[in-house]
Amino acid sequence: MTRTDKDNISKRTENRHLLRRVRAGLAAVKSTPYKGLLLGAYLAGAVLVWLLRAHLFSLNTYGMFSPVLGAAVDLLVPLYAVGGLLALLVLMGTPWGGRTAREGLQKTGLVNHAGEAPVLVSKRQDGEHSRLTVWEFDPCGIPLNEWEDKRARVETALNITIAKMAWGEGRKIIRVYAVPAESDFPALLRWKDKYLSLDSFVLVLGESLTGPVTVNLAHVPHILLGGSTGSGKSVLLKLLLMQSLRKGAEVYIADFKGGVDFPKVWHTKCRMCFTEEDLLYTLNQLAAVLEYRKGRLAETGCPNLDAYNEATGEGLPRLIFACDEVAEVLDRTGRSKEDKERLGQIENKLSTIARLGRAFGIHLILSTQRPDAAVIPGQIKNNLDFRVCGRADNVLSQIILDNTSAAEQIPKDARGRFITGDGTVFQGYLFDEGRL
């Protein structure tokens, strides 16, 4: 593409945007009272100039030239008035900072093949989340995945932290939902009891830029947490278990780390497994409960636990099985034949619960820090639908989320910062175990 071609394309883009800005200006006049007043004042001024034109331009003092001048003024005043009106509408339809934004994006290399950067067409507060500003861009042919790839650069160029990016108006515009960079996530968010959700069975994980992040186990039954060491997995896991206990669930915990992660206070409220034998025994029990519930639900014709409880008034609790560092537990390398057999059975039971637990109110919350795909079998992993990953490298992020967003979007020094499978970044609540 030659320089002239590029210049032509760029001119046409500008003309297109001029029209769009006039339209946006008209919309702004309708929606913003002070802009309507401004336009009214301008029109009133133009009418005044028109009515007083003979006096203002002293038309009768030019003798024989007066009629010619009069005709010229009659022609030019309306022309100027219309020109001024259009200029005013363009001005009102142009978002603040549009030029700076475009130049910023140009510098980051977010340009199309003609070298054009996206054009900011509007900037407004989000109706749903008042903290968020919505930047609407004409992407000038740059697809959304390229924006995603250059997310960090877009953030720097516009001095914002992006909550999400999405297509709008079909595929005509790209919306960037963001907050100013300086109002980024807080490093620490303390749990407060009032955050506990009243809905069964909704657990709260933390806060994203758009509000609380929650998971409803009645809809998404199992959770997989990932993150490198020190990313905050255990704290998040315990936050979820604490809420489950408060909601009346029975909690089963496999803890092979010698009680480092689950101090005594947990032992009084949860069923703990410290050995593989014990773990297998517990999983067998859970599988037996699953079978029992399956029978009861079939007999009563109820589709799920909530319906069953409502129909029978029995109040069967949800059962939550949690295992921190599950990859360590399931790893068979260097183990004896007998151990391997037991691990195979453990895996089997986990897999059964993962497949069938949803309707019967039996849930898994598993965490891992190992970027090792082989250790968690597909049958289990594929059924853990709610995925959350903290600070991680590309491999671990890929294993947990099936993409590298955790490696790209979670800062290396972040603690308790996670990203969900659908790309929502949040800061997890930190809670005091003493008050379990």
Ligand X SMILES: Nc1ncnc2c1ncn2[C@@H]1O[C@H](COP(=O)(O)OP(=O)(O)OP(=O)(O)O)[C@@H](O)[C@H]1O
For Mg ion (CB under 5 A), the number of binding residues is 1
- Binding part of the chain for ligand X, among 137-145, 148-156, 222-230, 303-311 by CB under 6 A, reads 222-230
Q: How far is the CB of 224 from Mg ion (least distance, A)?
A: 14
Q: 371: part of which helix (H) or strand (E)?
A: none
Residue with Cβ nearer ligand X (39 or 253): 253
- Binding part of the chain for ligand X, among 82-90, 107-115, 224-232, 347-355 by CB under 6 A, reads 224-232
Backbone angles phi, psi at 119, to 5 degrees: -110, 130
Residue with Cβ nearer Mg ion (328 or 385): 328
376 in Cβ contact with 330 (< 8 Å): yes
Q: What is the DSSP string of 287-300?
A: HHHHHHHHHHHHHH
Q: Which of residues 260-319 bind Mg ion (CB under 5 A)?
A: none
Residue with Cβ nearer ligand X (22 or 323): 323
Q: Which two tokens mark 318?
A: 């949800």
390 in Cβ contact with 224 (< 8 Å): no
**CB burial of residue 164 (10 Å; 0-12, 13-18, 19+):** middle
Q: Which of residues 333-392 bind ligand X (CB under 6 A)?
A: 369
What is the distance between the alpha carbons of residues 220 and 383, in angstroms, rounded to a whole number? Answer: 10
Q: Which of residues 277-296 bind ligand X (CB under 6 A)?
A: none
> Per-residue b/e over 336-371, b at no fewer than 16 CB within 10 Å?
eeeeeebbeebbbbbbbbbebbbbbbbbbbbbbbbb
Residue with Cβ nearer ligand X (115 or 211): 211
**Which residues are CB-contacts of 198 (< 8 A; sequence separation ≥ 6)?**
none
Residue with Cβ nearer ligand X (94 or 368): 368
What is the distance between the alpha carbons of residues 122 and 169, in angstroms, rounded to a whole number? Answer: 13
Residue with Cβ nearer ligand X (129 or 415): 415
Residue with Cβ nearer Mg ion (228 or 420): 228
Q: State the binding partner of 424 from ligand X, Mg ion, none, CB within 5 to 8 A by kind.
A: none
76: left (phi over 0), alpha (psi -120 to 50) or beta: alpha
Please state, as a whole number, how many other Cβ atoms lie within 10 Å of the Cβ of residue 276. 17
- Binding part of the chain for Mg ion, among 85-93, 202-210, 232-240, 295-303 by CB under 5 A, reads 232-240
Q: State the binding partner of 235 from Mg ion, ligand X, none, CB within 5 to 8 A by kind.
A: ligand X
Q: State the binding partner of 188 from Mg ion, ligand X, none, CB within 5 to 8 A by kind.
A: ligand X
Say whether residue 234 binds Mg ion (CB under 5 A): yes
Q: How far is the CB of 338 from Mg ion (least distance, A)?
A: 28
Residues of the shown chain interacting with Mg ion in the complex, contacts defined by CB under 5 A: 234
Residues of the shown chain interacting with ligand X in the complex, contacts defined by CB under 6 A: 188, 227, 229-235, 369, 415-416, 428, 430
